[in-house]
Amino acid sequence: MLGTSAWAILFKNMKNILIISDSVGMGNIASSAMMPILAYMGFSTSSLPTCLVSNNFGYGKYAILDTTGYLREAFPIWEKLGFGFDAIATGFIPSEEQAELISQFCAAQAAKGASIFVDPVMGDCGEFYDGLDTDMVVRSMRKMLSVADLCYPNYTEACLLTGIPYKEEGVSEKGIFEIVDAIREMGAKSVVITSAKVDGRNAVAGHKAATGEKFLLYYEELPLFFSGTGDVFSAVLIGYLMKGESLKHSTRKAMDGVYNFMLLNKDAKDPYKGLPVEKYLNVL
């Protein structure tokens, strides 16, 4: 067994990842899905909620508490206390003021060496998520792109960000990388676009800024729906990147992780509750 000093050294050497996203009371989505995955992968995790939400928006009824005032007070306190992070992962941001506060905090942390990962949570299947102020959320997420080392929208979100029309039938290889390049022109360094159909095949497209590498990774689509799969993808992707793996390899591991979690829960009765990730962490 490890002694007190050994544990202290272990925790001191663990990379600390901050998750800035919504906190949902019912179900394993948002930060509730990400934190156990990253902890299992060997990281220390911290959390700062952008809002408190009673349950998934998909139920049609929900309570939501905006935490902008809390963030406005928390960031200066953390600065005075000298808190720092090896990486920051952002998710759902409910207002432009929050986007401004968070992007400023991320920029300051990036200047100290933190990696910034932005999941522009906006919509899916060609539409915005229910309950969102569409113009506001687009402006907010575009602001976040300016500080992103890596941005990973799904195909719908990539179209909403860039203004490029969403096509139900999908796009060509040339078309998907035109969208990737448009997002990079908005400030994001590296980009991964998920849930796309490229030349008739389900694919994830990526561009690594440091090397200029572009890639397409194909996958088999399961006839299943679960909320929070993007959060699982995000956590696994970040975990492998922070372990030093390449963007292409980390993306493949994230795709496989989501696929395996969904397959193991194919008989779930309420997909809006997300995936019980703690039960199947060994598949990672």
Domains of the chain by start residue, with CATH: 14-283 (3.40.1190.20)
pLDDT at 133: 82
- CA–CA gap between residue 93 and residue 236 (Å, rounded): 21
Show the beta-strand stretches assigned E in 110-241. Answer: 115-118, 123-124, 127-128, 150-151, 190-198, 201-207, 214-218
Determine the pLDDT at residue 7: 39
Please list the rounded mean pLDDT of every run of 10 residues in the chain (284 residues): 45 86 94 97 97 92 95 97 97 95 98 98 91 88 96 97 96 98 98 98 98 97 94 98 98 97 94 93 90
Judged by DSSP in three states, 234 sits in: helix
- At 127, the amino acid letter reads E
Q: How many CB atoms lie within 10 A of CB 206?
A: 26
Q: Determine the Cα–Cα distance for residues 103 and 244; give it in Å rounded to an integer.
A: 25
Which ranges in 51-117 belong to alpha helices (H)?
68-81, 96-111
What confidence tens digit (pLDDT) does each residue in 94-148 have?
999 999 999 999 999 999 999 999 999 999 999 998 778 889 999 999 999 999 9
Q: Note the pLDDT of residue 1.
A: 53
State which amino acid sits at residue 205: A
User: Cα 89 vs. chain centroid, distance in angstroms?
Assistant: 6
CA distance 102 to 100: 6
Q: Give residue 155's pLDDT.
A: 98
Instruction: Supply the mean pLDDT for the chain.
Output: 93
Residue 108 φ/ψ, nearest 5 degrees: -65, -40
Q: 10 Å Cβ neighbour count for 266? A: 10
Looking at residue 235, what is its pLDDT?
A: 98
